[in-house]
Structure 1
Amino acid sequence: MNSSGRGRRKTRPRLPAAAGSATQMEAMMDEEAGGSCQNAGQSGDVLPIQPQLVAAVTEQVLQALSNENKRGEKRRKRQQKGSDSKRQRAPSSSGTEISWVSTVHGQISNHCTKAIPACLSETASKLLEASVTHKTHQSYKTAMSVFQKFHQKIYKTSPEFPINVAQVIYFVSWLQLEGKSHNTINTYVAGLSYYHRLNGFTDPTQFFIIKKLIKGAQQLSSTPDIRLPITPQILQKLVQAVKYTVSTKYTRLMLRAMFTLSFFAFLRVGEISAKSLGNMKNVIQMNNLTISEPLKNAKCMTLTLRHFKHNDSCRPVSLQIATQKCKSICPVRAMVKNIKVRGFACGPLFTFDESNPISQSYYTSELKNALMYCGLDSKLYKSHSFRIGAASYAFHSKISEEKIRLMGRWNSSAVKRYFRIPVFDTIEVSPQN
């Protein structure tokens, strides 16, 4: 017993000076566990691994990881201060320039950069610019400008990119306090996302908490849509009302054509009138309309829309509109009468001077006068009520949702928001001459 006792050497657990490999740690754990099991075999009990050893190894690993992170940070700073940093270009706030150095795509070596023709860089920038619409570019540019304003006000410094999740959280909160709508907040966050992904940065807007914040903004800012649909019966009343609310024949014929076409073509107000002279891209032109000959006995007309909301591809959509049994609300007859006094001159389809379209303010004002004459609440019926009424009437007529979506140029299931479910069957409108 004494000799065996002197021959046995007591071993102490050796801790690594720095974090070793996973294999080394496992070996240490196995060695200690083996010794414990051997002793346990003599006593018949199973002893756990010593908690002091686990804690010591864990502490060493964490310390080693911390040291490695510090060394990596120092290496990154040295690289940024090196000669290559002179070639780095700050990412464009509009998202149309290419950053030749990024955390994901890596660096382009000097000899490769010198060999690349300038035309390739210019073409790449043009392709990126063409990937999103001009309006989207402007929205993202505004988003970056607003974020810089936020950062200057809250952090008292200019932002450095990439930003972290906390900055996005506070940015969304700040926008909410500033009274921005959910759509505006969502657009600004999308701008930050586009900026980061384009430049190869990790996108901080994709975290779960950011999505929930935006959802919360939507819940707090959402208001019920109280706009009512303009039905064929109401449309008939409006068409008859302009006889008493408008003094000139030209304006009466034009408004009747505008009202009926808005309903049967699911038109947005921006497609028949302009909010401003600088916002006329989507306004329907005379050359967008084709009426079957002879004009006096026209049976149908075709409206070709090339520019409208969400049509980023600029692919035209043609709507074939047939004559209606009820002559008072027939869009083809109303359009023929309007063209007879307007003429076939090029320009906006609805105009006073053949060059400028009808303004939205004028159109909504005349619609309001007609609604008031009919005894209808102008707070519940708006210019968009024609589009809502057309979608609701088509839905009640058993037309499929997919076809309604195509007719109204909706690019998603958002069309469902326009369905107003009737509580009575449709009351037929008596044809009137």
Structure 2
Amino acid sequence: MAPKKNVGGPKGKGPAKKTSAKRPLPPNESSSGEDDVSAEELNALMARMEKFERERGLSTREAGPRPARRASRKLIFKNLLSRMSVLEASRTAVRRDGEEPEQPEPSREEQGPTAPSVDQPQAARDQAVADQSAPSALTDAAPAISRPQLESPEVRPETIATSLALAPAYPVRAAPSEAPAVSGSVSVGQPSVQASVVDGPSTSSDGAIQAAGTRRGRGSRTHARPSLEGWSDETALGMSLALAPSSRKSYIRAVQEFLDFRQQYNLPGVMPVPYEQLAQFCVYNRRRGLAPQSIRAKLSALAYWFKAQGLSDPTDDFRIHKFLTGWSRQRGHPRDERQPMTPAIMKGLKQLWPRLCTSHYEQVLFHAAALTAFFGALRVSELVALSKSDTSHRALLISDIKVLHDSMEINIRASKTDQESKGQVFRLLKCSEEDLCPVMAMTQFTALRGSEKGYLFSHQDGKPLTKYQFWTITAKALDMLGLGHLKFGTHSFRIGAATAAAEMGYGDDEIKAIGRWRSGAFKGYVRSVSS
């Protein structure tokens, strides 16, 4: 009997198993650069994969002998690592050549850790190092980009008062389409920044640094730190009070004129203002007939406006100073044509008050005001209210006058040369001539006025005597005296005091004391009287 043909395995343990032929990789999937992948990298990647499967219970779900699975997986990982390394090397080369636009940086979650991990394969660590150096290579290869010049936004008229720190005295309504301007700040509509910090400072919407924490004193009491909210408004008020009311008004008017000038000639509204625009503004005012001194006053207003916004002062330019000096030499020093009041004119006014005033009270009011202005050498702002709405209270109050038997004391609380309100008291003596005696005129007036608080020179209904009312009636009286063709003004009383004192033989120091002058400026007030 023929022996049975062995159809089993090599040792006759059953039929031979069919072994599937190993499928080769397609040509497009064959690994290029497999020699670059080391055994250490594959072992490290395999170990991490096996650890991942053990932790999630995935290792028992895969059938087949462990060595076969490991060999198959190892081959897959080897090809995968090779392809990744080739791909990343190609992308890096393209980036460096500038042929591929820079891709947006991924988020922190997508990007992962920037530093290569120790557990990563060597190729991955090398690639991480290359990625970290890639930005410098991209910067070197990228073309230069010209950044636009940063310019301040166009300044609109509604922000003038705020930038001049004049909001408390001269509020300006903002345009409906614009964000409200922060008082005392150049910037308009800044976004609010809030920070919540325990026991630390926080920033409010106006930039104020506020204390968010508290401190404990003795015992268990908690003392809150003083709030700094609204600090910008407080500093703006301080800057506003640093200027005289008349200066604030003239500064706002000058700045508005400059903005209108730029709009009229279609000049760009950039800040800081270039030299060319300031020079053109000066020429514009000169051709309008303004004197160089008046142009300098407008430039002073603009300089204050620039500095109040924290900008440099473009008016302090060598060229501006020089051509203004040249214009002044060409024009010459203008002569002050204002005429001084004299004792003879004061007597004539006394005779005309009854014809111009409607009541006895008004006659006594104007006579006392005129004699006080003349003998006290007062400025009109120190004498009467500038307007019906004047709230500066720089004019004389009833509390500033103390009438004695043969003299009276006057307290000037603040003036043009005393912005800090240190005050100065002087005395006027009684005069033997009744029509020119300020003490007798004041005694008669205060008896009619009473001791009610408020402005000293006020009407019978309590309303203040204003600058316009006082000078309008005085100018009519001068015209009736035949002096209307001469140039008189409210400063003629102060000029007349210096002129009369010089004619009576007073020395320079005595004249300076009468008008409270601190320098030799009084000499410009002493002049001859025109007939």
TM bucket by the smaller chain?
Answer: 0.5 to 0.7
Quick check: 1:126 aligned with 2:234? yes
Q: Match of 1:276, as an amino acid?
A: S
1:5 corresponds to which residue? none
Task: Quote the Cα distance in structure 2 between the aligned partners of 1:363 and 1:286.
Answer: 18
Q: CA RMSD of the aligned region, Å? A: 4.1
Task: Point out the structure with the larger helix share.
Answer: 1
Deviation at 1:206, TM superposition (A): 1.5
2:441 aligned with 1:334, yes or no?
A: yes
The alpha carbon displacement at 1:113 in A equals 9.9
The residue type equivalent to 2:379 in the other structure is R
Once the two structures are superposed, residues 56-95 of structure 1 have per-residue CA deviations (whole angstroms, 9 ceiling, x without a partner) of: xxxxxxxxxxxxxxxxxx99957959xxx9xx99997524
Deviation, structure 1 residue 289:
1.0
Q: Which residue of 2 aligns with 1:149?
A: 260
d(CA) in 2 for partners of 1:240 and 1:217?
Answer: 47
> Which whole-Å CA distance do the structure 1 matches of 2:379 and 2:437 have between them?
19
The equivalences for 1:95-134 within 5 A come to: 95-96=164-165, 97=184, 117-118=209-210, 122-123=230-231, 126-127=234-235, 129-131=237-239, 132-133=242-243
SS at match of 2:464: coil
Match for residue 459 of structure 2 among 346, 352, 371: 352
Change (3 A) 1:188 1:355: same
> 1:358 is paired with a residue of what secondary structure?
coil
The structure with more radius of gyration: 2
Q: Where does structure 1 differ by over 6 angstroms across 4 or more consecutive aligned residues? A: 88-92, 111-116
Residue identity matched to 2:258: F
* 1:403-414 alignment runs, 5 A limit: 403-410=510-517, 413-414=520-521
Taking structure 1 as the reference length, the TM-score comes to 0.62
Distance across 2 between alignment mates of 1:341 and 1:420: 37
Report the Cα offset of residue 137 of structure 1: 4.7
Amino acid at match of 1:257: A
Question: Any gaps of 5 or more consecutive residues in structure 2?
Answer: 1-143, 166-183, 188-196, 211-226
Is 2:500 aligned against 1:393? yes
Tell me what 2:3 maps to.
Answer: none
Give yes or no for contact 1:310–1:411 (8 Å, CA) kept in 2: no
Match of 2:303 among 193, 200, 212: 193
Unaligned 5+ residue runs, structure 1? 1-73, 101-110, 293-297, 424-433
Q: Which residue of 2 aligns with 1:278?
A: 389
**1:309 and 2:419 aligned:** no
Q: Residue 205 of structure 1: SS of its match in structure 2? A: coil
- Matching residue of 2:281: 171
* Cα shift at 1:335: 0.9
Question: Percent same amino acid at aligned positions?
Answer: 24
Q: Distance in 1 between matches of 2:396 and 2:272?
A: 43
Deviations 1:222-269 (A, max 9, x none): 753323222223323332443565564323322221221111111233
The letter for the 2-side match of 1:151 is R
Verify the 8 A CA contact 1:302 1:321 in the aligned structure 2.
yes
User: For each residue in 1:364-401, what CA deviation from the matched residue of structure 2 results, as whole angstroms up to 9, or x when unmatched?
Assistant: 34324443554444634444322111011223344444
Q: Is the 8 A contact 1:265 1:321 kept in 2?
A: yes
From 399, 415, 423, the equivalent of 1:287 is 399
* Aligned residue in 1 for 2:336: 225
The change in CA–CA distance for 1:170 and 1:76 in structure 2 (over 3 A counts) is farther
1:332-369, CA deviations, whole angstroms, 9 ceiling, x for partnerless residues? 01111122222222232222234212244443343244
- SS of corresponding position for 2:446: helix
In 2 relative to 1, CA 113–164 (structure 1 residues): closer, same or farther, beyond 3 Å?
farther
| Alignment correspondent of 1:9 | none
Change in CA separation of 1:399 and 1:348 when aligned onto 2, cut-off 3 Å: same
With over 3 angstroms needed to count, the CA separation of the structure-2 counterparts of 1:209 and 1:288, relative to structure 1, is same
Secondary structure in structure 1 of the residue aligned to 2:428: strand
Provide the rounded CA distance (Å) in 1 between the counterparts of 2:473 and 2:254. Answer: 36
CA contact (8 A) 1:151 1:158 kept: yes
Match of 2:57 in 1: none
The answer to whether the aligner puts 1:324 opposite 2:407 as a matched pair is: no
Cα distance change on mapping 1:412 and 1:152 into 2, 3 Å: farther
Structure 2 residue identity aligned to 1:171: F
Q: What is aligned with 1:258?
A: 369
Contact 1:288 1:304 in 2 (8 A): yes
